[in-house]
Amino acid sequence: LVSNASDALDKVRYQSLTDPTVLDTAPELQIKIIADKSNNTLTIEDSGIGMTKADLVNNLGTVAKSGTKAFMEALSAGADISMIGQFGVGFYSAYLVADKVEVLSKNNQDKAYIWSSEAGGSFSLSEVYDDASELKRGTRIVLHLKEDMSEYLEEKRIKDLIQRHSEFIGFPILLYTEITTEKEVTE
């Protein structure tokens, strides 16, 4: 997913070479990773090119047609996870750790939309009508993690994965984590 974010950033950077105004909506090209233990979600957000409504339907709305179902069935039958590439899954590997995936995306040429699916072969797609998303351009993927996947919210685990799999990403990756401090209160 971080590689997808980097690709989206490359696309908007390339587009900005001929039209610098495409960066006006979000000038900083970066990837944010937000671990939210209280909501059991992991968010990956980029300020890349974003997707239009048509892009969301064409690129993500094909969960029923993709190899996801076949991959998950093979995995349940004891197949090795390294077989993932044989199924053309890509984005849908998120369902290995998440029960539900939400994708909020905003392209400069379209309104903001949210795509949501629980990997059952169906999805919902709706327009985002308020400014609550604060996403000016780019994509925000929210993984609602399975109960036994909370390790992916641990700072050390996330850092290890980023260092191992995103070593050659040419954009800043910002990791947002929760910090808890204890203070003694005197009455």
pLDDT for 120-175, tens place per residue?
Answer: 768 888 998 876 567 899 999 999 999 999 999 999 999 999 998 888 899 999 99
Task: Supply 182's token pair.
Answer: 């204890």
- Helices 2-18 and 155-165 pack at an angle, to 10 degrees, of 60
Which range, of 50-54, 56-60, 85-89, 97-101, averages the lowest pLDDT? 85-89
β pairing state of 173-176 and 31-36:
parallel
pLDDT value of position 93: 79
The single-letter code of the amino acid at 142 is V
pLDDT digits over 75-103, tens only? 667 655 544 444 345 677 788 899 999 99
Measured between alpha carbons, how far is 149 from 42 in angstroms, rounded to an integer?
Answer: 10
Q: If you average pLDDT over every residue of the chain, what do you get?
A: 83
Residue 20 has pLDDT above 70, yes or no: yes
The neighbour count for residue 105, using CB atoms within 10 Å, is 29
Taking Cα atoms as reference points, which of 43, 50, 45 lies closest to residue 11?
A: 50
The length of the chain, given as a count of residues: 187
